Chain A
Amino acid sequence: MNQWAFVAAAYAVTILAGGGITFASYIQMRRAERAAEELRRP
């Protein structure tokens, strides 16, 4: 198999994993902080 296929696979795994956890953590933080903010409002 072409060596570039292995390089592309490694880059795809890292980008998906890194991007996925960054996005998921951001969404989780936004939702939690919004819920806390809404509860503070009278």
Chain B
Amino acid sequence: MFHAYANPARFLKIARPLTPMLIWTGIALAAFGAWAGLTQTPPDYLQGETVRILYLHVPAAWLGMGGWSGIAIGSIAYLVWRHPLAALSARACAVPGALFAAVCLITGSIWGRPTWGTWWQWDGRLTSMLLLFFVYLAYIALSRADGQRGGDGRIPALFGLAGTVLLPIIRYSVVWWNTLHQGQSLTLTKSTIDNAILWPLPFTLVGFTLLFAGIVLMRMRAMLAAGKVEARMRRMAAA
């Protein structure tokens, strides 16, 4: 089934109607979650109003790491099956992934100043997330250089796989090291955050994830169209 959608024509047939659905549903859910987080939840007894940054910081962290997971999955699919669409999907995840990693770092820093009394601390979680942001920038530069030199995309794909090593480091940094960043407040099965504060978070989490998927689809469509134009120009120049 997966191989069937590696065909660009089939992919576009699905991506065209799916893109606006993902974008508008994502915007609606994220906007509702953000509004509810601002107006419908009580302040935290310790953090006060700054707890509301959680509704943006957590989805940004999730998508910063999720974007690299997308790069890794696309890279594996490209290296194993040589589907050009897989390489394209990996490249399309890079810029939004880097942006959300940056948003995670900035919103975390904004939250840290009133809560910890500092904008930045070189602890395990913050440093590993910053490292992921730099690895994103390296991947973007590498895949652009590979495309300009007419490379086959294998080197960015290998780099995409190698960078995956950062994901468990970020995830378990608060367990492995005694960090200023608090331990895991949320897992799939339990939460240490009260439901009165927690409930808008799934809305922003799902909303931003759908928005991210829509952005990736738009970037893939742009790359496919640019590729068609380039191929056509080459044919016209050769004729």
A residues sitting closer than 8 Å to B (CB atoms) are 1, 3-4, 6-7, 9-11, 13-14, 17-18, 21-22, 25-26, 28-29, 31-33, 35-36, 39
Docked-complex contact A13 and B218, CB < 8 angstroms: no
Tally B residues with Cβ within 8 Å of A: 40
Known: A21-B96, A28-B222. A6 touches B106 (CB 8 A): no
Nearest A residue to B104, CB-CB: A14
Docked-complex contact A10 and B114, CB < 8 angstroms: no
The main secondary structure of chain B at its interface with chain A is helix
Q: A28 CA to B232 CA in the complex, in Å? A: 19
Instruction: State how many angstroms separate the Cβ of B136 from the closest Cβ of chain A.
Output: 13
Q: Can you list 8 A-B pairs, Cβ within 8 angstroms, ordered by A?
A: A6-B53, A6-B113, A10-B56, A11-B38, A13-B110, A22-B27, A28-B219, A35-B226
Assuming A7-B49, A21-B215, A22-B27, what are 16 further A-B pairs, CB within 8 angstroms? A4-B49, A6-B50, A6-B53, A6-B114, A7-B38, A10-B106, A10-B107, A11-B34, A17-B99, A25-B215, A29-B222, A32-B222, A33-B221, A33-B222, A36-B225, A39-B232
Docked-complex contact B229 and A36, CB < 8 angstroms: yes
Q: A17 CA to B177 CA in the complex, in Å? A: 31
Docked-complex contact A18 and B222, CB < 8 angstroms: no
Known: A3-B48, A22-B215. A10 touches B226 (CB 8 A): no
Instruction: Enumerate chain A residues within 8 angstroms of B218, measured Cβ to Cβ.
Output: 25-26, 28-29
Known: A7-B38, A14-B60, A39-B232. A21 touches B99 (CB 8 A): yes
Instruction: State how many angstroms separate the Cβ of B110 from the closest Cβ of chain A.
Output: 5
Q: A34 CA to B34 CA in the complex, in Å? A: 35
B171 within 8 A of A: no
Contact with A along B33-77 (1 / 0, CB 8 A): 010001000000000111011001100100000000000000000
Total A-B Cβ pairs within 8 A: 89
Q: A22 CA to B208 CA in the complex, in Å? A: 11
Docked-complex contact B52 and A25, CB < 8 angstroms: no
Instruction: State how many angstroms separate the Cβ of A2 from the closest Cβ of chain B.
Output: 8
Q: A10 CA to B110 CA in the complex, in Å? A: 7
Docked-complex contact A14 and B225, CB < 8 angstroms: no
Instruction: Enumerate chain B residues within 8 angstroms of A25, measured Cβ to Cβ.
Output: 96, 215, 218-219, 222
Instruction: State how many angstroms separate the Cβ of A5 from the closest Cβ of chain B.
Output: 9
Closest 10 pairs (CB-CB, A-B) = A32-B225, A3-B49, A36-B225, A29-B222, A25-B218, A32-B222, A14-B56, A29-B218, A10-B53, A10-B107
